[in-house]
Amino acid sequence: MLRQQDVGHRIVVRRIVGIREGRPLFSDALGELVELDETHITLATDQGRVQVPRDEVHRAKWVPAARRPTAAAVIALELAADEAWPAPVRGRLGDWLLRSAAGWTGRANTALPIGDPDRPLPAAVDAVERWYADQGQPAMVNTPLPLATPVGAELDARGWGARPLTLVQTVALDRLRATLPAPGPTVELTAAPSAQWLAVAAGRKGGLPDAARHVLTAVDRLRFAHLYADGALVAVGRGTVTGEGRWLGLSLIEVVPEFRGRGLARQVVRALADWGADSGATDVFLQVEQRNTPAVTLYRSLGFTTHHTYLTRVAPA
C-alpha cells in the first residue's frame, strides 16, 4: 500500500483498463510518484503526467533505487546545465537559484529549487513569486523529478500549471563518438556564432534579444558548429563544457527544413563530440521535450538515455 512518504519514489503501477471475456486487462505506468490523495495516484512519466484512479490500481511497486540517479547526481547535472545556459540576471534563495533572461527560453527564466531555500517551503515559494514580480515576469520553477517532488506538491496546491515534460538525457562521450560517422569537412567550429548561425537560432527560438546573446555566449568553454552546403549554412549546433570539465552539453542542434533527413545533425554532433573529447569531457548531456518525437528518436539512436526529468511549472495569472 502506497503512503504519503512514498511521494518522490519511482514506481510501477499496474492498473485495470478493461475486462475481456470475464478477465481483467492490465496496463503499466512507470514514473515518479508526485501526488497521492484519496481518489488518485499521480505519476510523472516520460510521456507526461499520468493520473490513475485508485480503484483501477491492481498493484504498485517501487523501482529499486539502484536504477535511478542519486540526488547528488541530479544536483550536479542540473548545476552543470545551469552553467551551460547562463541567465544574465541571477539571484539566490538559500541554495535555490533564481534566473531571468527577459523571458527568452524557459530554462533561463525559472527558479531551480535544489538544496535548502533557508526558510519553510511555503515562504520560499512566496519569495520566488515576489522575485519574478520584481523582474516583471511570470514566476516559473523547474522541478527536477523526483528531487523536487515536495516543491511540486506545494505548487499543485497553489494551482500552478505545468509545461510539457523535459527529458535530461546522457551518454558516455566515447560511446557517442563510436556511434557517429567522422564529421564532414564542411562542419566548422567557432568560438563565437556567425550572423547566419544566430539567424537560424532566432528562427527556432522566436528572436534573439540581448539577454539571449548572453545565454548563448557567456560560457568559458564553448563552440558553435556551422555546417555548410554549397556555401549556405544548413545546420547548426552549440557545445559547452561545464561541470568541472566533465560534461559536454549539446543544445540548438538544428537543420534547416529542406536539408533534413540527410544525416547532417549527426555530423554536427560528431564535430562537437570530438571537440568535447579534446577538451577533457567524459560525458554528454542534453535537454529535450518528451513530445519532440523526431529529436528523441535521434538521440535514442545515438545511445542517449534519460537521466532524470523535469517539469517547468508556471504560476497562475
Give me the pLDDT at residue 176, please. Answer: 97
pLDDT band per the 50, 70, 90 thresholds, residue 179: very high
- Considering only residues 190 and 261, tell me which one the structure prediction assigns the higher pLDDT: 190
- Considering only residues 5 and 39, tell me which one the structure prediction assigns the higher pLDDT: 39
pTM of the full structure: 0.80
Residue 312 β-bridge partners: 142
User: What is the distance in angstroms between the CA of the first residue and the CA of the last residue of the chain?
Assistant: 37
- Whether the per-residue pLDDT at 145 is higher than 70: the answer is yes
Residue 233 β-bridge partners: 228
pLDDT band per the 50, 70, 90 thresholds, residue 4: low
- Torsion sign over Cα 292, 251, 100, 155: positive
Rounded distance between C-alpha atoms, residue 112 and residue 104, angstroms? 16
> What mean pLDDT do residues 123-151 have?
94
Dihedral of the alpha carbons of 197, 198, 204, 207, in degrees to the nearest 10: -170
- The amino acid sitting at 94 is G
pLDDT digit string, tens, across residues 36-47 = 788 888 887 766
Rounded distance between C-alpha atoms, residue 196 and residue 183, angstroms? 20
**Strand order in 57-62's β-sheet?**
48-53, 40-45, 23-36, 10-20, 57-62
pLDDT digit string, tens, across residues 51-83 = 888 888 888 877 765 567 888 999 999 999 999
- Considering only residues 113 and 186, tell me which one the structure prediction assigns the higher pLDDT: 113
Query: Hunting for cell 568541472 — which residue is that?
Result: 244
